[in-house]
């Protein structure tokens, strides 16, 4: 498993949630920070500014994860037993599957760091600098 120089440079922000992906050019399995996906980051930052309820935000977050990372070949890897054999079934796993296993923790992480999500999105020019976060509803 390799982490390229480009990948290290992209993770300069504070938000990090790593998954396994394939580098098609290098034919290697690498780690990828899902917060480096610009459109995903922009959409969850916008959702944070509009939704003040954690449960409602969780539904939106799951929807965005599915839209960007679910059942798309560029986000899929194959998991197999080692050593390989004809009797062992391989599993196709995408980024959504990897996050879904710990979705409650992922939701807590994003919700607890929602100010940082918006701050990073502003710094990267994904949302306007004047964007404000709504006050969260008491849980």
What confidence score (pLDDT) does residue 9 get?
A: 46
Each residue's pLDDT tens digit, 21-32? 999 888 899 999
What confidence score (pLDDT) does residue 123 get?
A: 95
Contact 116, 124 (CB under 8 A): no
What confidence score (pLDDT) does residue 126 get?
A: 95
What confidence score (pLDDT) does residue 25 get?
A: 87
Residue numbers in the chain where pLDDT is lower than 50: 1, 5-11
pTM: 0.84
- The secondary structure element, H or E, covering residue 49 is helix 38-50
Domain boundaries, the chain: 5-123
Beta bridge partners of 94: 76
Each residue's pLDDT tens digit, 53-75? 999 999 999 999 999 999 999 99
CA distances from 120 to 38, 67, 72, 106, 114 (A): 11, 21, 26, 17, 10
Across the chain, which distance is largest between two alpha carbons, in Å? 57
């Amino acid at each position: 498993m390799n982490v390229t120089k480009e990948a290290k440079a992209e993770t300069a922000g504070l938000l990090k949630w790593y998954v396994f992906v394939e580098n098609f050019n290098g034919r290697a399995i690498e780690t990828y920070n899902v917060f480096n996906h610009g459109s995903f980051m922009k959409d969850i930052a916008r959702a944070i500014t509009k939704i003040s309820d954690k449960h409602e935000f969780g539904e939106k977050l799951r929807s965005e994860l599915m839209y960007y990372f679910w059942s798309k070949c560029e986000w899929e890897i194959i998991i197999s037993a080692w050593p390989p054999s004809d009797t062992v079934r391989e599993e196709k796993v995408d980024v959504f599957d990897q996050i879904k296993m710990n979705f409650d923790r992922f939701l807590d992480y994003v919700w607890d760091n929602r100010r940082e999500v918006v701050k990073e999105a502003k710094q990267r020019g994904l949302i306007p600098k004047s964007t404000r976060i709504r006050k969260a509803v008491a849980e």
